[in-house]
Amino acid sequence: MYDVVIIGGGPGGYAAALYAHNFGLNVALVEKERVGGTCLLRGCIPAKAWLKTAEVFAHAKKAADFGVQVGEPSLDWQVALDRKNGIVDGLVKGLGGLLKARKVDVISGYGRLAGGGVEVSTDSGEVRRLEARNVILATGSRPRAIPGYDFDGNRVVSSREALDWTERPNRVAIIGAGAIGSEFALILGSTGAEVHLFEMLDQVVPGSEPEAGKALAREMKKKGVNIRTGVAVGPAEVHEDRVVVPFEGDYVEVDKVLVAVGRAPVTEDIGLETTNVSVDRGFVEVDPNTMLTAEPNIYAVGDIVAGTPQLAHAGFAEGIAAITHIATGEIAPVDYRAIPLVVYTDPEVASVGLTEAEAREAGYDVEVHDHGMRGVGRAIIQGEVGGLVKIVSEKDGPILGATVVAPAAGELIHELMYAVAWEALPAEAAAYIHAHPTISEAIGETLLSAAGRSLH
């Protein structure tokens, strides 16, 4: 009898499995592929490896601007692919070793809920039953398709296939300009491909601050990305050697189409119909304080949870919350207000808390302050002046949200994460000193403005 059986070895599942050792729980982790889930195997980690390749290539092309003569760079796609695969394999191996050290039983197979326990079907056809006091569902998500763009693994693909392209396509259409679509647009555009990025809504990275979308779009266009926002595409015409993508009386002809319009929860065929678990459009509803479903002793974490961000670090926190409740009966609720979101483009776009529009919609009396990078010494030195910092606060009240568009914005956002989480007043946060010269000085300048005493 296991204290906990976890179905799914992605970030939410393996975080729960690892955290359980703090309480001496007996844990089994069921995974039909390798541990690591979408994030490690075919999402966050491999995509960032490709983005690093694109960044180095782009920097090499600009080396002469800094007085460094290296000639025209060339890209060995296979070497970059091998490097990406090596990073993934190394992290998977490390994760496997850590699970073993924590005495987690990793069981290979497809897990389903069954009569208070879990049945595991292996590739050999064997069915094994695991008895469990508690079950955590962490089955993750998969790329969404759209009408007229069925995935065929060749001409029309999801991010899963695109991460393993053995050569860079020369012409690519990307449908969807969210985080995944925008990151791929930068990978391909920075390395010389002809990229057409389509988005139905009115900006890249929909849902982010409009200023952030505009700043990112400007920089993407400099890297050769053709951006069309507020545009719907018609059904693709797939030919043996090309794909025609029609839109609003026009069309583009490309080698590949990447559909990046979000991810759907993987909750079918996992035995939910045998339980009282409540499901909304495939997403599992939980108590946000405990991650417990409507079925006693069945929890859910990660991408399958209704109404929460599909982010690996959200899955980590949800796994911790579930294990804490299982082990102690206490709650360790996830503070979704203060979860950073990062788009790893060039420049990066990072945000936390409420946008200006969200804060106004929530009824706050809002004050907004921003600061561009054009006067920031470190940004000028690096040749990266296209970004900004925007801080949203309540009038005479705390900081409600913030956005940073800058190199390494994904690192910089965390000081503003604490400000949002701790409901800091702008004047309180502005009292602390930023090193000079740094990109983060732009945050300090914006905080000073929000406190009513701007410097530069």
Give the CA-trace dihedral at 191, 218, 407, 381, to 10 degrees.
Answer: 100
Mapping DSSP onto H, E and C, the string for the chain reads: CEEEEEECCCHHHHHHHHHHHHHCCCEEEEECCCCCHHHHHHCHHHHHHHHHHHHHHHHHHCHHHHCCCCCCCCCCHHHHHHHHHHHHHHHHHHHHHHHHHCCCEEEECEEEEECCEEEEECCCCCEEEEEEEEEEECCCEEECCECCECCCCCCEECHHHHCCCCCCCCEEEEECCCHHHHHHHHHHHHCCCEEEEEECCCCCCCCCCHHHHHHHHHHHHHCCEEEEECCCECCCEECCCCEEEEECCEEEEECEEEECCCEEECCCCCCHHHCCCCEECCEECCCCCCCECCCCCEEECHHHECCCCCCHHHHHHHHHHHHHHHHHCCCCCCCHHHCCEEECCCCEEEEEECCHHHHHHCCCCEEEEEEECCCCHHHHHHCCCCCEEEEEEECCCCEEEEEEEECCHHHHHHHHHHHHHCCCCHHHHHCCCCCCCCCCHHHHHHHHHHCCCCCC
Q: Which of 275, 310, 336 finishes a domain?
A: 336
pLDDT of residue 123: 82
On whether both 311 and 354 belong to a single domain, the answer is no
The CATH number of whichever domain residue 388 belongs to comes to: 3.30.390.30
Domain annotation covers residue 341: no
**Cα 4 to Cα 36: distance, rounded to the nearest angstrom:** 19
Q: Is the residue at 342 inside a domain?
A: no
Q: Is the dihedral of CA 115, 117, 121, 125 positive or negative?
A: negative
Co-location of 166 and 230 in the same domain: yes
Distance CA 400, CA 389 (A): 14
Domain presence at residue 94: yes
| Judgement on whether residues 174 and 252 belong to the same structural domain of the protein | yes
Last-in-domain residue among 279, 309, 336: 336
Q: Which residue has the tokens 């309480």?
A: 23
* 272 shares a domain with 254: no
Q: How far apart are alpha carbons 303 and 316 in whole angstroms? A: 11
Q: What is the dihedral of CA 304, 307, 313, 317, to 10 degrees?
A: -90
CA angle (200, 204, 208) in 5-degree steps: 110
Domain annotation covers residue 443: yes
Beta strands at 225-229 and 194-199: parallel, antiparallel or unpaired: parallel
Pair (283, 243) in one structural domain: no
pLDDT at 116: 83
Total domains in the fold of the chain: 3
For residues 333 and 320, is the Cβ–Cβ distance under 8 A? no
pTM to 2 decimal places: 0.95
183/247 same-domain check: yes
CATH code of the domain containing 182: 3.50.50.60
Residues designated as active site: 436
Task: Please tell me whether residues 127 and 166 are part of one structural domain.
Answer: no
Phi, psi dihedral angles at 66 (to 5 degrees): -105, 10
- Tokens describing residue 454: 């701007």
455 falls within a domain: no
pLDDT at 51 (0 to 100): 97
In degrees and rounded to multiples of 5, residue 254 shows phi and psi of -135, 170
Residues 136, 272 within the same domain: yes
Local confidence pLDDT in tens for the 456 residues of the chain:
999 999 999 999 999 999 999 999 999 999 999 999 999 999 999 999 999 999 999 999 999 999 999 999 999 999 999 999 999 999 999 999 999 999 999 999 999 999 889 999 988 889 999 999 999 999 999 999 999 999 999 999 999 999 999 999 999 999 999 999 999 999 999 999 999 999 999 999 999 999 999 999 999 999 999 999 999 999 999 999 999 999 999 999 999 999 999 999 999 999 999 999 999 999 999 999 999 999 999 999 999 999 999 999 999 999 999 999 999 999 999 999 999 999 999 999 999 999 999 999 999 999 999 999 999 999 999 999 999 999 999 999 999 999 999 999 999 999 999 999 999 999 999 999 999 999 999 999 999 999 998 888
What's the confidence (pLDDT) of residue 456? Answer: 81
Same domain, 115 and 30: yes
Structure tokens at 274: 């045998």
Per DSSP, what are the bridge partners of residue 19?
none
The domain in which residue 290 lies consists of: 2-142+264-336
Beta pairing class for 2-7 and 127-137: parallel
